[in-house]
Amino acid sequence: MSSSSSGELKRKRAEMEIVWQTPANPPERHDYIFRNGRRHVKPYYFEFISHVSAVKAGRIQVDGQIVPVSYIVQPSQKISHFLHRHEPPVMAWDVSIIQEEPDVLTVCKPASVPVHPCGQYRKNTVVGILQAEHSLAPLFPVHRLDRLVSGILILAKSAAKADLFRVQIEAGMVHKQYMAKVIGIFPEEEQVVNVNVNYNAREGRSSVEVGDCHGSTPLKGKAACTKFTRISTNGTHSIVLCEPITGRTHQIRVHLQYLGHPIANDMLYLSEVIADRSIEGMSADRAAAGRSSISTFPCSNRFDEYENSGEDFSIDPMCTNCPNLAPKGYDGHEEPLWLHCMRYSGPDWVYECPNPDWAFLS
């Protein structure tokens, strides 16, 4: 780097007005940018806290004060490292409110949006978007939905109410119903899969475990049971009602794979043989998916409204992600999973979500 370029960079760093954000700062409506059918988050400075660190980028605070690199940290002092954070974008569909009660909120969760802050996601979450766009906080998710799964999501407005729901779930008093679009002609009679599921956190996927007839090989996975019933078929794909009795990670997805009928666009669990057999049908479905939103109602698409909004964000010369809006490593080709949570019901309550467009076979 030339001396003039280096001097210009130092000047920009000195002139930058940095507004630090901590976990206490709530998301706001103006934090979002909509481009190419995706909901982005304006990059922001976020505080990561640790007690042992060696950061030489000049963005260190010790007990709330900026210190030089030569500063010697004393015992019990808090070191804060501030980073220009770029969150991965999600699809630009609304988080639509289905029903609001004094102590419960139910929404239609769009595919691609995480339920709560996790990993790289903080503002681009169901909880964050509801707080930014509807001033709803605090909210306590009652159950999980994988990021790529759409459907009914129940959120309590108090920790006490969330605990009441969880007691019912743990006691087996809650009935869960999903629908999936799978490869092939699913059997007409009900299928019950009672096979252990073992989740590999490093690989981010589950596998089924079937013991031998003698029971001599110990199983690492957890007991899992799912009931499946065919709703319709067009000869290429089938719409299947999925009723998980247990709640293991990726249980429905891996149990459908075990039956030889994986979710038709689930690249994590599609085998090569099935993918080759169905490539023609999947190509047509992908083209249709590109033209429509996940559901005509209530998960509407904000693409047309915000595409030309002209929103911009501040470029940080020290940031390795800038001037791009999305973080490095994001390829932008993510596809919503054809798995939808349609209904949750308990002893004296029922919450439902409208079916997605892909559930209607032609």
Annotated catalytic residues are 146
CB count in 10 Å sphere of residue 120? 15
Residue 310 region by backbone torsions, left for phi larger than 0, else alpha for psi between -120 and 50, else beta: left
* Residue 6: φ, ψ to 5°: -65, -40
- Supply the DSSP symbol for 246: S
For residue 359, the 8-state DSSP code is G
CA 9 – CA 332 distance, rounded (Å): 30
CA nearest to 359, candidates 332, 334, 333, 341:
341
Query: Cβ neighbours of residue 323 under 8 Å, at least 6 residues apart?
Result: 315
Q: Where are the beta strands (DSSP E) in the chain?
A: 20-21, 32-35, 38-41, 44-50, 60-62, 65-66, 79-85, 90-91, 96-100, 104-109, 140-141, 150-156, 175-183, 191-194, 196-200, 205-209, 225-233, 237-244, 339-345, 350-352
CA angle 7, 9, 14 (to 5 degrees): 95
